[in-house]
Amino acid sequence: MNTLIAYYSRRGQNYVSGSIKDLKIGNTEAVAKMIQAQMDADLFEIETVDTYPDDYMPSFHFVPMRAVAWDTAKRTSERSVLLQPC
């Protein structure tokens, strides 16, 4: 079955194990790649219309993301999985 994993992940400052750390790959991207390896699925990175602040704390109060091209991407596969930070 053709599966698409769509994800949004924050690179840079993130909350990790009780402190803020600078990550080259965001937490959700790392999980999406693990799932992709198990399911042999396609990956689609969701980008935001508005850029999140670089600092972690101000981004915590940022307006929820608006996905770019998600509707188009999910129509190209039989099964879609959406991952986003919570």
Give the global pTM. 0.65
Q: What does the alpha-carbon distance between residue 57 and residue 10 come to, in Å, rounded to a whole number?
A: 13
At residue 68, the pLDDT reads 47
Work out whether the CA dihedral 4, 8, 12, 17 comes out positive or negative. negative
Q: What's the distance, CA 52 to chain centroid? A: 13
pLDDT at 71 over 60: no
At residue 74, the pLDDT reads 57
Report the relative pairing of strands 3-7 and 42-45 from DSSP bridges. Answer: parallel
Angle at 23 between CA 45 and CA 79, to 5 degrees: 25
List residues bridging with 23 in a β-sheet: 12
- Residue ranges of domains in the chain: 4-45
List pLDDT tens digits, range 8-57.
Answer: 888 888 878 888 889 899 888 999 999 999 988 889 888 877 777 777 77
Q: What does the alpha-carbon distance between residue 38 and residue 22 come to, in Å, rounded to a whole number?
A: 27
Residue 76 banded pLDDT, cuts 50, 70, 90: low
At residue 85, the pLDDT reads 62
Top pLDDT among 73 and 44 is at 44
